[in-house]
Copies of this chain bind each other. A is one copy, B any other.
Amino acid sequence: MALVERQVRNGAEESGKRATKLVLVVTKDTLDQVYPPLILATTAAASGLEVDVYFTFWGLKLLDRRSHRKTKLASVGNPALPMPNILGMLPGMTAVTTSMMQRKIKKYWPTIPEMMLQAKEMGVRFHACSPTMGLMGIRKEDLIPQTDDIVGASTFLDWATSPGTATIFV
């Protein structure tokens, strides 16, 4: 690798090229699991990376116009929440934790639909996972117009194994 240019960073010598593409996989549709990939997607696009987001399983709900604006936060099963499970399981508590979290998030970021629009404007591509669409009860006509295409696991793997790609599975 003598011909490869060297760069010194963090005190370590490195060779090879920096990744120029980011592939994000979104498999959940709760507020706390959707913001991280969307923040990464917009930040990466702003830095000039090519960004593909693959929505699969519950993550597909974000591309479904019926659930696109309804991302929630689970009210039970998360010991980090300031709420015991016995309260969290009561009817309406998912709505309570969701709106608590949304109020806090609003100080820092746009809503999820707004962030998705922003990402699209920056060139981020949104892909629906074909093999899980049926499972999630989502048809082609349910998809929001920001969806670029419907692709399968082999296309995703093709991206993930492509040279110069960092893949993050959320």
Q: Residues on A close to B: CB < 8 A?
A: 1-5, 7, 9-10, 12, 14-22, 25, 27-30, 32-33, 35-36, 39-40, 43-44, 46-47, 49-50, 56-58, 61, 67, 72-80, 84-86, 88-91, 93-94, 98, 104-105, 107-109, 131-132, 134-135, 152-154, 156-158, 160-170
Contacts and interface: CB of A to CB of B under 8 A. Distances in A.
Contact of A88 (B85, B158, B165): B85
A13 to B, nearest CB: 9
**Copies of this subunit:** 3
Contacts of A135: 104-105, 107-108
A18 B29 CA distance: 31
A94 B73 contact: no
